[in-house]
């Protein structure tokens, strides 16, 4: 059996029965990686020997963690002690963190096996994984196309069966959009649900770590494993973590679901629009009550995001200056010269562009016109959701306006690239949870994602809708055949 | 125009990034296009709105001021491009810029 194609919950059953050992899973994955990684480029750092070592070091006693023997890949912006963690950027070349992110401690505490790091857009700046210093990741459904971004490596590895499941991070859609265009499940938790300690910061008021998985049950399992309050992250919420697995199996009969008209815009792909319509009909058949609604400030979300996120990024990325870690330029004349040359050589185009844009939005004379205004419009976007959630239990939308575009198609036009996040950004600005699940294919056989957004800290309801939909459709069972 | 070359050059200096002439040219064009797009925020009246810098209801988060183990110095500096005597080593700070 090809164990690498299975879900974590399938593997947990097989392990429990004693039919297989963790080393069998790891060997299947290693074989698959040796076959397909050259064409996928989904991984940033992978060391076979280390994986085998971790496998043999697994606890063999009766006390086994909930994820015992289950392999997991980690996005390259999450710190793993003494393992390369580079945000797919030259400026962090060779960086090995002296500590683990909280999510890593949680996963290894449950006896999961760390497999390695996945490729990403440099510092998570992008929607296509083309800005990585390791080269672009490719979409397993069509190698000429992007896997989405910035967690494109995680999504492509899961879709291409190089991974069982993986962690991503989502600042403006970086889990949901790649999951959508790769035909897998991706969940961005509520801001504060998962500790950000050890996640290399992009935009601190928007970033969240979350699961990318082959089905909804695995998303619930992984979310449960990484959630919870952490005193190392003062923005992590001190709230109980529900049992997502049992909660999601309840029927969705009577749930009220809003369908915002602003997410069915002119210029969006007709096949995407049609698939979402059919998915909504399915939800109605399953007993949900779907009604049109409005989130009137949606059209301002991209503008707000690219001011707020870049402003925060410009401040967060000030620490990459050649002093504490990573690259330092040679032949430098002074301290300032060292900063400037190191950052010139270490950052790619998109990182430079965003840092300059964010610095501009925060600079004296422009602060009120740009940054401050964006924060006020963010209030309007949040109020739109508050109002909608007075009436609805959840909101459904497309995850992206189109299926995966071609590599190179948008990379030279940043604004066009930014607009591909148009349906995912609002959830980060409002801090609410969202999940993307497969809901169909285009005639070119490219996956289409359905996004379900929920109330703050109500991941349970979006998982419940996603699970009910998934159990009554077969989209998640269809695998890419290209590789 | 929302932004010109001089402003991009000035801002890049604030951000401590050296730009080539070519980068300066293409960033100016791209940033101008992005800023023209975000200009749509000006169509909204936001005078009476409070800014949202984060979405959580929490205000200050306090903890006991207790002594705890921290990262050892050797761990904190092990990634430094240059270190000496358990310290980060950098070029002379007090210097006159040419």
Residues A89 and A181 in one domain: yes
How large is the angle between the packed helices A216-226 and A459-471, nearest 10 degrees?
A: 160
Considering chain A, what is the average pLDDT of its residues? 97
Does residue A45 surpass a pLDDT of 60? Answer: yes
Write the Ramachandran bin of A41: left for phi over 0, alpha for psi from -120 to 50, otherwise beta: left
Paired strand residues for A451: A397, A436
Q: Is A125 part of the contact surface with chain B (CB cutoff 8 Å)?
A: no
Contact between chains at A333 and B54 (C-beta distance less than 8 A): no
Q: Determine the pLDDT at residue B96.
A: 61
CATH number of the domain encompassing residue B29 = 1.10.20.60
Euclidean distance between CA atoms A221 and A218, whole angstroms: 5
CA distance A325 to chain B (A): 5
Share above pLDDT 90 across residues of chain A, in percent, rounded to a whole number = 97
CATH number of the domain encompassing residue A143 = 3.90.1300.10
Q: Residue range A342-358: average pLDDT?
A: 98
Residues A204 and A303 in one domain: no
Contact between chains at B37 and A302 (C-beta distance less than 8 A): yes
Q: Are A232 and A195 in contact (CB under 8 A)?
A: yes
Pick the catalytic residue from A132, A151, A174, A436.
Answer: A174
Q: Is residue B31 part of a domain?
A: yes
Q: How far is CA A322 from the centre of its chain?
A: 29
Q: Is residue B79 part of a domain?
A: no
Q: Determine the pLDDT at residue B98.
A: 52
Domain total of chain A: 2
Q: Which of A438, A270, A327 is nearest to A90 (CA)?
A: A327
Give the domain range for residue B30. Answer: 1-42
Give the domain range for residue A247. Answer: 11-254
Name A17's Cβ contacts closer than 8 Å, sequence gap at least 6. none
Task: Grade residue A267 by pLDDT with cuts at 50, 70 and 90.
Answer: confident
Q: Is A198 part of the contact surface with chain B (CB cutoff 8 Å)?
A: no
Euclidean distance between CA atoms A476 and A439, whole angstroms: 8
Which residue of A98, A363, A418 is in closest CB contact with B75?
Answer: A98
Q: Are A440 and A475 in contact (CB under 8 A)?
A: yes
Task: Grade residue A62 by pLDDT with cuts at 50, 70 and 90.
Answer: confident
pTM: 0.97
Query: What single DSSP character describes residue A3?
Result: G
pLDDT, one tens digit per residue, over A467-482 is 999 999 999 999 998 6
Q: Residue range A228-232: average pLDDT?
A: 96
Euclidean distance between CA atoms A298 and A258, whole angstroms: 14
Q: Determine the pLDDT at residue B97.
A: 56
Q: Which residue of A has its CA nearest to B27?
A: A353
Residues A71 and A167 in one domain: yes
Q: Residue range A366-386: average pLDDT?
A: 97
Q: Is residue B52 part of a domain?
A: no
Does residue A437 surpass a pLDDT of 70? Answer: yes
pLDDT, one tens digit per residue, over B17-73 is 999 999 999 999 999 999 999 999 999 999 999 999 989 888 888 888 999 999 999
Residues A250 and A338 in one domain: no
Does residue A483 surpass a pLDDT of 60? Answer: no
CA distance B40 to chain A (A): 7
């Amino acid at each position: 059996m090809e164990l690498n194609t299975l879900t974590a919950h399938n593997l947990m059953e097989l392990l429990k029965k004693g039919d297989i050992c963790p080393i069998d899973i790891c060997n299947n994955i290693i074989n698959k990686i040796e076959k397909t990684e050259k064409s996928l480029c989904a991984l940033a750092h992978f060391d076979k020997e280390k994986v085998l070592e971790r496998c043999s070091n697994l606890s063999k006693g009766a006390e086994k963690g909930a994820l015992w023997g289950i392999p997991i890949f980690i996005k390259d912006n999450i710190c793993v002690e003494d393992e390369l963690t580079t945000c797919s950027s030259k400026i962090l070349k060779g960086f090995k963190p002296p500590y683990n992110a909280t999510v890593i401690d949680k996963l290894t505490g449950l006896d999961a096996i760390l497999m390695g790091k996945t490729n990403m857009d440099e510092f998570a700046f992008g929607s296509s994984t083309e800005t990585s210093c390791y080269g672009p990741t490719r979409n397993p459904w069509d190698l000429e196309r992007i896997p989405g971004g910035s967690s494109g490596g995680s999504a492509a590895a899961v879709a291409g069966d190089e991974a069982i499941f993986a962690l991503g991070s989502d600042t403006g859609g970086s889990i949901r959009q790649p999951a959508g265009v790769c035909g897998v499940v991706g969940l961005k938790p509520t801001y504060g649900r998962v500790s950000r300690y050890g996640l290399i910061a992009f935009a601190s008021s928007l970033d969240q770590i979350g699961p990318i998985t082959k089905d909804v049950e695995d998303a619930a399992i992984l979310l449960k494993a990484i959630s919870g309050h952490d005193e190392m992250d003062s923005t992590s919420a001190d709230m109980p973590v529900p049992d997502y697995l049992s909660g999601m199996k309840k029927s969705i009969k009577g749930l009220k679901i809003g369908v915002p008209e602003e997410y069915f815009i002119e210029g969006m792909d007709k096949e995407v629009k049609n698939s979402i319509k059919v998915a909504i009909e399915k939800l109605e058949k399953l007993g949900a009550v779907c009604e049109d609604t409005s989130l009137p400030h949606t059209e301002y979300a991209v503008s707000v995001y690219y001011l707020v996120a870049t402003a925060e990024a410009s401040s967060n990325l000030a620490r990459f200056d050649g002093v504490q870690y990573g690259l330092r330029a040679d032949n430098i004349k002074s301290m300032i010269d060292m900063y400037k040359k190191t950052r010139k050589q270490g950052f790619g185009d998109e990182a430079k562009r965003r840092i300059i844009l964010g610095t501009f939005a925060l600079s004296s004379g422009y602060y009120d016109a740009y940054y401050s205004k964006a924060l006020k419009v963010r209030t309007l976007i949040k109020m739109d959701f508050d109002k909608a959630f007075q009436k609805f239990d959840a909101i459904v939308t497309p995850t992206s306006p189109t299926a995966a575009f071609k590599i190179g198609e948008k990379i030279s036009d940043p604004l066009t690239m930014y607009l591909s996040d148009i349906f995912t950004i609002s959830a980060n600005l409002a801090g609410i949870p969202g999940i993307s699940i497969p809901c169909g294919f285009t005639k070119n056989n490219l996956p289409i994602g359905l996004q379900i957004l929920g109330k703050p800290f109500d991941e349970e309801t979006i998982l419940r809708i996603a699970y009910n939909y998934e159990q009554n459709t077969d989209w998640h069972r269809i695998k890419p055949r290209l590789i | 125009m929302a932004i010109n070359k001089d402003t991009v050059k000035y801002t890049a200096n604030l951000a401590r990034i050296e730009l080539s002439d070519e980068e300066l040219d293409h960033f100016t064009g791209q940033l101008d296009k992005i800023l023209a797009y975000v200009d749509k925020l000006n169509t909204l009246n936001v005078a009476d709105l409070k800014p949202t810098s984060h979405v959580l209801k929490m205000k200050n988060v306090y903890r006991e001021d207790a002594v705890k183990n921290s990262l050892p110095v050797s761990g904190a500096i092990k990634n430094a491009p240059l270190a000496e005597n358990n310290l980060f080593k950098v070029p002379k700070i007090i210097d006159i810029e040419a």
